[in-house]
Structure 1
Amino acid sequence: MGSTRRRFTDEYKANAVALVLDEGKTIAETARNIDMHEMTLGKWVKKAREARDEQTPPDAPLTESERAELQRLRQENKDVKAENAHLQMQVSFAKKVATWFAKDQQ
């Protein structure tokens, strides 16, 4: 015998999404707590995020969490660029050494 499909009110959906978006809880944790499937809640959260993004103008000031993420990403980018420059220097040195050894063997 098949199972019946659960129906949720708009208010219930909004409250569940608010737990994730406003209180910072994970989708998995929230879904377990309210006894529902993660995929269902995940779809609701995705839809709510897209709706929020559409309402926010592109030139709106950043929130504190966005500002912190931007700062973290900038530092990460700086670290990656420094590591890349170091690796390029090592490759350049290895090429010079290989050229020197090749000339020495002739």
Structure 2
Amino acid sequence: MSLNRRKFTDEFKADAVQLVVQGQRPIAQVARELEINESSLGYWVKTYRQQHPDPETAPAPVDAARIARLEAENRRLAEENAFLKEAAAFFAREQK
């Protein structure tokens, strides 16, 4: 018997956490509505709260996920830029 694990996007997780954190609704209720496991949602909420211990200064879960995605993209683009600079310097040396 093959078990297919469901994979959730970071945006989906952030939306689910936001329903719990900002909506003041129980994890069990939100999990039932979204048809996901309570323990998964509970883990996502716990992780968010550990990363943002002060609820008044914490960004919304959706914003936090968006910021993380943009930071990862920024790192990737910086690495690509550094590689292209090195490649341009290499080919400039080869032309001489």
TM-score (norm 1): 0.50
The structure with higher relative contact order (CA 8 Å, sep 6+) is 2
User: Could you list the runs of 4 or more consecutive aligned residues of structure 1 that deviate by over 3 angstroms after TM superposition?
Assistant: none
How many residues in Structure 1 have an aligned counterpart in Structure 2? Answer: 56
Give the distance between the partners of 1:35 and 1:3, measured in 2 at CA.
17
Aligned equivalent of 1:11: 11
What is the CA-CA distance between 1:3 and the residue it aligns to?
1.8
After superposition, the CA RMSD in angstroms is 1.8
The higher radius of gyration belongs to 1
Give the distance between the partners of 1:6 and 1:22, measured in 2 at CA.
25
- Unpaired stretches in structure 1, ≥5 consecutive residues: 62-106
Deviations 1:30-87 (A, max 9, x none): 000000000000000000001111xx4xxx89xxxxxxxxxxxxxxxxxxxxxxxxxx
Identical columns (%): 43
Aligned equivalent of 2:80: none
Q: Within 5 A, what are the aligned runs for 1:1-106?
A: 1-53=1-53, 56=54
- Unpaired stretches in structure 2, ≥5 consecutive residues: 58-96
What is the CA-CA distance between 1:2 and the residue it aligns to?
2.1
Deviations 1:7-41 (A, max 9, x none): 00000000000000001110000000000000000
